[in-house]
Amino acid sequence: MADERSVASTVLPPLKVFLSHARPSKPLVRRVAAALPPHVECWLDQDEMGPGQKFPARIEAGIRTG
């Protein structure tokens, strides 16, 4: 069994996630995103999209660059 201190000090690679959701689920999705560990980068429309941007095009761009 691994020593807990060595596991805790392990550097985890960054992960990127996209949380797909419907508008009624937005409060829950915000809580999930806030609870993710520091090495997980979360793509949320409210953080990544500006006014007037086309949603499908912006998601595709995020996937290509992520």
pLDDT per position as a tens digit, 22-58: 889 999 999 999 999 988 988 887 777 778 878 788 7
Q: Whole-structure pTM over 0.85, yes or no?
A: no
Show the domain range for 30: 4-65
Q: Residue 54 has which token pair?
A: 């086309």
- Domain count for the chain, please give it: 1
Q: Residue 2 has which token pair?
A: 């691994």
Q: How confident is the model at residue 16 (pLDDT cuts 50, 70, 90)?
A: confident
C-alpha distances in Å from residue 27, one per residue of 41, 44, 57, 65: 18, 12, 24, 27
